[in-house]
Amino acid sequence: MSVLPDELWRRVFEIGGFSYKDLCCVSITCRRFRRLSDEDHLWSHLLSSDFPLVAPHPSSSSVTSKSLYKLRFERDRDKKIAAHQRALLRKESQIIEHLRKLRDIESRLAQETHKMRATRVDLSNFHQVRQASLALNVWQPEIIRGRQKQIVEQCVVPTESRLHALEMELRLCKQQISGLEKAYKDEKQRLGLAEEELQSMRYHPLRDHRPLSSGDAQCTSKSKKLKRCKGQSFACSCFQSHSFLLLSSPVKLLFFCSFGLNFDI
């Protein structure tokens, strides 16, 4: 198999239309193929096809096409990761805003409800007074009469107008509450949507959702898996509280891991 001469293999690699990943794979197989697939013309071809819009590097003979490719690839990937993380942050702050609004509505609802109850109590008192004053117009047993007189005399404000005002207030409260409830529902819906969007932004089909079972100890031996994560968007469950960290290097991943944080790998 490997008895094919180098020139033939070179031809295979040239003709083949290999991607950067394929070339890297071939390179990893053994020394000979590393040499064959590392050749500059293969990588400069990839450079010009994958990163055509990037301005050409000021040529320096010490920079191979392959290392240049790697550089551009990483920059590009880092850019994408950064953009994705910004989007995640925006979405998260949107959610926080929704939650804040919901809390606000809840507190106003509580206030209005409290007010409504107080108004109802007031109303019922005034109804009592009115009933009492009406009853005084008809004949009643003395004891009852006495009590009713007491109720009427204790009330110092004009009953009818107060009743009217209270009824208005009650209606207003109910209106407010209904309005607030609707606003709450709407806000809740918006929150739900935003949370769904965040969820789908975080989703990565290749990632295993097993949480690390024994946390810290296994971390360093799992450096391979961490490297696997390197190119992915980093929406780990610890993201919210540590969102200021841009996770673009394995060192930082190891740092995270050593704190035994729950990680979606």
Partner 1 sequence: MKKISVRTSDGQEFELEENLAMESATIKTSLDAFSRDDIILLPNVNSWEMVKIIEFFTKVQELETKFGVKFMEKKEGRFLEAFQAEFDKDLSDDNLYCLLWTVDYLGIEVLLENLCHLMAERTKNKTVESCRNLFGVQHDYTPEEEAEIREDYSWAFEGPEIEE
Least separation in angstroms between residue 19's CB and partner 1 is 7
Least separation in angstroms between residue 51's CB and partner 1 is 14
**103 vs 211: CA distance, rounded Å:** 32
DSSP summary character for residue 63? S
Asked if 13 interacts with partner 1 (CB under 8 A), we say: yes
Which one, 188 or 228, has the nearer CB to partner 1?
228
Asked if 82 interacts with partner 1 (CB under 8 A), we say: no
**79 vs 77: CA distance, rounded Å:** 5
Sequence letter at residue 72: R
DSSP summary character for residue 218? G
Is there a contact between 161 and 61 (Cβ–Cβ < 8 Å)? no
Least separation in angstroms between residue 61's CB and partner 1 is 20
Of 51, 73, 184, 255, the residue at the interface with partner 1 (CB under 8 A) is 73
Of 52, 137, 224, 244, the residue at the interface with partner 1 (CB under 8 A) is 224
Residue whose entry in the numeric block shows the structure tokens 């809740």 = 188
Which of the residues 25 through 44 are near partner 1 (CB under 8 A)?
Answer: 25-34
Cα 82–83–85 angle (5° rounding)?
Answer: 65
Least separation in angstroms between residue 208's CB and partner 1 is 11
Which one, 13 or 126, has the nearer CB to partner 1?
13
Asked if 8 interacts with partner 1 (CB under 8 A), we say: yes
Span from 52-60, 108-116, 155-163, 223-231 in contact with partner 1 (CB under 8 A): 223-231
Alpha carbon 16 to its chain's center: 43
Sequence letter at residue 80: K
